[in-house]
Amino acid sequence: MAKAIVQTRERLLQAALDLFQEKGYAACGMSEILARAQANSGSFYYFFRSKEDLLVAVLQRYEEMLFPVLLEPLWKKTEDPFERIFLLLAKYRELIVASNCTYGCPIGRLALEIEPTYEEAHRKIAANFEGWAGAVEQCLMEAREQGKIAKQVQTRRLSRFVLTVMEGGVMQSRSYRSVEPFDLAVEELRQYFQMLAMPTGERKRIGNGSDPRRAK
């Protein structure tokens, strides 16, 4: 009996995960969630007070999945902190290409869609962003310790910039129906990282306008 109860909750959560990703939060009705989960309304209200309560549980699940599902398999591929970041971005590129450029980051989509008055949901969305950016910041701190970037580089600010590149690239690729905007943004980020790895004098020279890319 206890196992069946747990399985019902998992089916409801998975149905919501899938449908919110496919259709968005507002366009997804309760009847669709129940049908996808093969559950009835009584079962739903046993676990969740409302659709918003289910949304918070979905966001909690995304937060729990971040490391074991997304990050850990990528981190195992390399010890290099910079390459870990670009492997992470490459994973999003795979999702864009596999979906024929219709992929949208589920957290980013919900952040734009959910009304600001849903404060608990937005706290969970922020926690998801914080987890993602925090993992990138850890890579940047390791890179700084290894001397790959200067000590004065602000890793927290840079990690949020990386997150902005990812979210913005995904969003533009979805609208343009092309992976090119994502690729251009990531390539510019890689060039920036390469510049951060240069000696201070070399960075200043580029900053003064001697970057050969500017002539193109």
Place of tokens 């890319």: 213
Which CATH class, in words, describes the domain spanning 51-210? mainly alpha
pLDDT average, residue stretch 132-138: 98
pLDDT per position as a tens digit, 80-99: 999 999 999 999 999 999 99
What pTM was computed for the model? 0.88
Place of tokens 């902190």: 81
pLDDT per position as a tens digit, 185-200: 999 999 999 988 866 5
pLDDT per position as a tens digit, 140-175: 999 999 999 988 899 999 999 999 999 999 999 999
Task: Please give the pLDDT value at position 146.
Answer: 93
CATH number of 1-48: 1.10.10.60
Non-local CB neighbours of 134 within 8 Å, separated by 6+ positions: 159
CA 123 to each of CA 49, 59, 69, 127, 213: distance values in angstroms, whole numbers, following the listed order: 18, 10, 22, 6, 41
The length of the chain, given as a count of residues:
216
Structural domain boundaries in the chain: 1-48, 51-210
The confidence band for 201, taking pLDDT boundaries of 50, 70 and 90, is low
